[in-house]
Chains A and B, each alone.
Chain A
Amino acid sequence: MIQAEKLSKVFPATKKTKEVRAVDAISFVCKPGEIYGLLGANGAGKTSTLRMLATILEPTGGTAKVAGYDVVEEPEKVRENVGFLSTATALYGRLTAQEFVEYFGRLHGLDDGALKKAVDGLFETLGMNEFRDRRCEKLSTGMKQKVSIARTLVHDPPVMIFDEPTMGLDVMAARTIVGFIRQCRDRGKTVIFSTHVMTEAEKLCNRIGIIHQGRILAEGTLAELRARHGKQDLEDIFVEIVGDGQ
């Protein structure tokens, strides 16, 4: 479960930049077994929101509870219960696929027995045994994606956060990720993911929040959004909402 309440992030002014209100008092709820999609253009505040939920960034206002833990009060507990994947979360090139996944398993507190079981299971399920001992720097993009997925799942977290996970990937690699997000939902996990690709949101999300300039301007299931705006195409709906907002 993710509950965000008036969550805000303001980056203070520096010598070169003005103050940036990246996330402006957004509230939403994402339940287990559900995929919540944050749909927005670049710079809308998607990444900052998800980073706050993953406790990589600290909110400047409001609060959020992830898997029952407050992101400000108990950030380490939150991270224990979250799998976070984005195109920015790269791999350690000089570690092998197995070492990399094991490293994160250990940081999640798994002992040797539990770790071996988790790693063996993941490598089997994701079809990664073939490149188990190959260094991450030598892997193809698709293989790297699988290693990242294994990393987010090694501690079997109840909450999954995906920040534009398919950005820059080819069709096949993107399909792997999309399939994986669906599986997470089917296994009863709470899934939130951000994208600017309309078709992905249409295909995957149980509910969609349209985010623009740090605020959620519209929220609902795809059917609700279509009914509310009298349009079938999500892109048209998006443009209408964002256009209204400007």
Chain B
Amino acid sequence: MSLRNIGVVYRKELVDSLRDRRTVISMTVVPLLLFPALTIGMGLLGATMMSRAKEEVPRVMIVGGEDSPKIVAALKKFEKIEIVPTAPDYVTQISNKIIRAAVEIPPGFDAAAGRGEKQNVTVDYFEGDVKSELAQERLDTFLKDYRVDLAKALVAARGVPTNLLDPFKVKRKNVAPPEKVGGSAIGGMIPYFVIILSLTGAMYPAMDLTAGEKERGTMETILTSPVSRTDLVLGKFFMVLTASLATALLSLTSMAISFMLAKGMIDKLVSEETPGIHYALDPRGIFAVLLMVLPLTVLFSATMLTIALFAKSFREAQTYLSPLTILVILPAIASLLPGVELNTRTALIPILSTSLVGKEIMAGNHPWGFIMLIFLSSCVYAAIALGAAVTMFNRESVLFRA
């Protein structure tokens, strides 16, 4: 092995790749455009949709209640909803989003309420429709208040103090620091994106430097030079790794900038009543995630180099590498599912483990045992993949596959 030769091959591959428009696009444009579009676009869209939904006064129908003028009058006075004339097809109207909800009042409600008898009031709404759910929440609040007022009137009539009905109040206080809230909300996504993008960043050069060389007829040219095949594959490997790391770094930078921009814009939009989205992220956490992703980028680069080398043409290499993308995306997605947590078993599954520990790091937790275990196991997987790449490059049946 000669470091000088590895360096010569690496420099040539770097110059060659940087002059290739397709490599540059896959390395830079995707991370630089995807994140601003995703964070700012989605964040703005979400915030706008929420505030619009909250501005709307939902149209609500009262079903029944002809003999209960008191509750009907109270509902009509409630400003946060708009009462519309009753129609028999109210369920269809909710489904078709003509009205947002309906309140079904049982016969003789007012009279029975005056006697303190138990009754059922039904609220019809469409689950999954944000606007309908908002109408349901408002009706729920209204009905709870109405129930308390009713109860107070009943006990007052019997000469009992009304504060007995209200012995304590509940207050909510958030103790999680903002970066932890941000960590679980958005930080969990960061390792996932970095992993996926370091894969896509490595994919194009891995194909170009192997199957691409075979297709263009330069493989035979380079094999006639005295450089050993091990030096050759290592030089190529470092180039693919560079592309992978550059993509990961660019995507992280782009993400950090996007979050900062989006935070400003969304803070303006989201009103105080929405607990909403916290965008505070710890830069040290982001750096730690990059460090954890490092052995994975080695694993990706070496694996893709090995697989692509087997292909005779660029197209064939694409056919082999596309399933690999899914193989990587699946464990990365699994890490986003609720309930999938870091333990000794998941810590040994490549990709999933890095994604999970990245999520923990972004949330401000540092499970050192797992961090070491995952980093080391990823390094072992990476070394195996690199060994495979070197072996494949020394097999003429692979280099000259008929």
Q: Which residues of A contact B (CB under 8 A)?
A: 11, 14, 17, 54, 56-58, 76-77, 79-80, 82, 84, 86, 88-95, 99, 103-104, 106-109, 151
**Max chain A C-beta neighbours (<10 A), residue from B20, B220, B396:** B220
In the complex with contacts A90-B221, A92-B16, A95-B12, A107-B216 CB distance below 8 A: no
Closest to B8 in A: A106
A107 touches B221 (CB 8 A): no
Q: Which residues of B contact A (CB under 8 A)?
A: 5, 8-9, 12, 15-16, 19-20, 216-218, 220-221, 223-228, 396, 400, 402
Closest to B224 in A: A84
Closest to B400 in A: A57
Could you tell me the distance between the alpha carbons of A106 and B12 in the complex, rounded to whole angstroms? 11
Set of chain B residues within 8 Å of A91, measured between Cβ atoms: 218, 221
Set of chain B residues within 8 Å of A99, measured between Cβ atoms: 12, 15
A89 touches B12 (CB 8 A): no
B225 touches A104 (CB 8 A): yes
A89 touches B220 (CB 8 A): yes
Tell me, rounded to whole Å, the shortest Cβ–Cβ distance linking A162 to chain B: 12
Tell me, rounded to whole Å, the shortest Cβ–Cβ distance linking B226 to chain A: 4
Contact of A103 among B12, B19, B224, B396 (CB under 8 A): B12
Could you tell me the distance between the alpha carbons of A82 and B396 in the complex, rounded to whole angstroms? 20
In the complex with contacts A88-B220, A107-B226, A108-B225, A94-B400 CB distance below 8 A: no
Set of chain A residues within 8 Å of B19, measured between Cβ atoms: 94
Set of chain B residues within 8 Å of A79, measured between Cβ atoms: 224-226
A90 touches B16 (CB 8 A): no
Tell me, rounded to whole Å, the shortest Cβ–Cβ distance linking B347 to chain A: 40
Set of chain B residues within 8 Å of A94, measured between Cβ atoms: 15-16, 19-20
Set of chain B residues within 8 Å of A93, measured between Cβ atoms: 216
B221 touches A54 (CB 8 A): no
Closest to B217 in A: A90
A108 touches B216 (CB 8 A): no
Set of chain B residues within 8 Å of A76, measured between Cβ atoms: 226, 228
Set of chain B residues within 8 Å of A108, measured between Cβ atoms: 225-226
User: 7 tightest CB-CB pairs across the interface, nearest first?
Assistant: A90-B217, A84-B224, A79-B226, A89-B221, A107-B225, A94-B19, A80-B226
Could you tell me the distance between the alpha carbons of A151 and B5 in the complex, rounded to whole angstroms? 17
Closest to A103 in B: B12
Tell me, rounded to whole Å, the shortest Cβ–Cβ distance linking B29 to chain A: 19
